[in-house]
Amino acid sequence: MTPEPDGFDAPALSHTRAFLAAGRGQDGDAAGTANDSAVSGLRPYLLTSGRAEPVDQSLEIESQVLTTDLGATAYGRLSFEYREIVRLCEDTVSVAEVAAKLGLHIGVARVLVADLAALGYLVVQRPTFPVNQDLNLIERVIRGLEAIH
Amino acid sequence: MDLKPSTEPSRRTRRPPVPVKIVIAGGFGVGKTTAVSAISEIPPLSTEAAITTVAARVDATGEVPAKMTTTVALDFGCITIDEALKLYLFGTPGQDRFGFMWHDLSQGALGALVIVDARRINDCYPAVDYFEKVRLPFVVAVNMFHGELRHELAELRWALAIDAGIPLVTFDARSKLSVRDALLAVLRHTRSRIEGA
């Protein structure tokens, strides 16, 4: 094999392809701890095992998320991103707040929250549907806003 | 380390509040973030959301239009209605190409507030078109940021080509109470739509 005539060198492989790096960790939550400090520079979907869709694709971004006792107990065994979410959700926050406060893309936050919920580490309160047909609920919101001064 | 399991109240008895949302739409720079800031109990947060667009060019294979993912900022705030109910306000740019994100935001929303700058009313057309199409109740609110209205509301309504049944209000996006009243207009409109159905 001859070298490239123009002296082209293949660039060093600077990051791992998402699908290769990711597969581990789905069947054991201890995976990823060795990589904790390396996470921040990676492309967002590397954090989600290459998946761009949450386990539950319909998880609304206003859904409320709260860490369970199980999640708090598992904290030390979780990889960095999961751990940050479990910590943040000690107090109830929305999926949108998880994204904003942890600097995650909203789609990534959705996937990670859905993963943790599937493991029982988070409890998720989704909106009730069809919310926009529920007169009592709308009356409650109206009264709540009227109380603002 | 483990997070200390909190003692009181026990997580088992805590339930997160039910979330509801109102979409705040309109063109760039029209006062969406200002309005959210004025009334949100937390400083407005911003996150990035992906939107998928079909690129005008053809990709390298020469056959299929390339699907591109663009990132757009999503600003939001919230208001605690009562201990079991929390209202979220999502501000979204009102351009045609952000339609994909509107679907997510509109799904299950109580209604929408479309903010208009009277000097650039065209900017709100995509939002008005979209909410009409998905039948999400909405109110058009003219931001009186600049103090005076150059047109009568009736002229604006004509220019916007909105149905007589759609409330058109003026408000000041910097004022908490004014934003509150605009949101109340949305909710009352939603209520009347349900009652009239």
Dump pLDDT digits (tens) for B65-106: 555 566 677 889 999 999 899 999 998 875 555 555 778 888
Residue A36 distance to chain B (closest CA, Å)? 15
Q: What is the pLDDT of residue B38?
A: 96
The tens digit of pLDDT for each residue in B126-135 reads: 889 989 999 9
Judge: B19–A75 Cβ closer than 8 Å, yes or no.
no
Note whether A94 contacts B: Cβ–Cβ < 8 A: yes
In contact, A90 and B3? CB cutoff 8 Å = yes
Q: How confident is the model over A73-89, as a mean pLDDT?
A: 94
- Whether B40 shows a pLDDT value over 80: the answer reads yes
Please check the confidence at residue A123 and state whether its pLDDT lies above 50. Answer: yes
Question: Where along chain A do its domains lie?
Answer: 18-146
Q: Is B18 in contact with A69 (Cβ distance < 8 A)?
A: no
Nearest CA in chain A to B108: A131
Question: Residue B130: inside a domain, yes or no?
Answer: yes
Distance CA(B22)–CA(A4), nearest Å, equals: 59
Q: What percent of chain B has pLDDT over 90?
A: 43
Average pLDDT score over residue span A78-104? 94
pLDDT greater than 90 at residue B109: yes
Looking at CA atoms only, how far is residue B134 from chain A in angstroms?
Answer: 13
The distance between the two most distant Cα atoms of chain B, rounded to a whole number of Å, is: 65
Model pTM score: 0.76
Mean pLDDT of B23-48: 90
| Per-residue pLDDT at A18 exceeds 80 | no
CB proximity under 8 Å: B 37-76 to A? 39, 45-50, 71, 74, 76
Q: Please tell me the distance in Å from A46's CA to the nearest CA on chain B.
A: 15
Phi, psi dihedrals of residue B104, rounded to the nearest 5°: -60, -40
Cα separation, B4 vs A38, in Å, equals 27
For the domain that residue B154 is a member of, what is the CATH number? 3.40.50.300
Question: How long, in residues, is chain A?
Answer: 149
More confident residue, B143 or A19: B143
Q: Which strands make up the sheet holding A64-67, listed edge to edge? A: A93-94, A64-67, A122-125
Q: Which of A62, A97, A142 sits opposite B187 (nearest CB)?
A: A142
Q: Does the residue B9 lie in any domain? A: no
Q: What does pLDDT average to over chain B?
A: 82
Chain A 51-90, residues with CB within 8 Å of chain B CB atoms: 60-69, 72-73, 75-76, 86-87, 90
Answer whether B135 touches A (CB < 8 Å): no
Task: Print the domain residue range for B188.
Answer: 16-196
Residue B5: inside a domain, yes or no? no
The residue that leads in pLDDT, B161 or B89, is B89
Helix (H) or strand (E) holding B169: strand B168-171
**Do the Cβ atoms of B108 and A92 come within 8 Å?**
no
Cβ within 8 Å, pair B191-A138: yes
Asked if pLDDT for residue A25 goes beyond 50, the answer is no
Q: According to the model, what pLDDT value does residue B5 have?
A: 53
Q: What ipTM describes this predicted complex?
A: 0.84
CA B121/CA B6 separation, integer angstroms: 52
Counted domains in chain B: 1
Of A69, A125, A131, the CB nearest to B11: A69
Quote the Cα angle for B56-B59-B61, to 5°.
145
Does the residue B2 lie in any domain?
A: no
Q: How many residues belong to chain B?
A: 197
In-domain check, residue B157 = yes
Q: How confident is the model at residue B197 (pLDDT cuts 50, 70, 90)?
A: confident
Residue A34, pLDDT score: 39
- Beta strands B85-93 and B138-143 are unpaired
Look at residue B133 and tell me if it is in a domain: yes
Take residue B63 and report the two structure tokens written for it.
């056959």
More confident residue, B128 or A17: B128
Q: Residue B195: its chain A contacts at CB < 8 A?
A: 135
The whole-number pLDDT of residue A50 equals 55
Residue B94, domain member (yes or no): yes
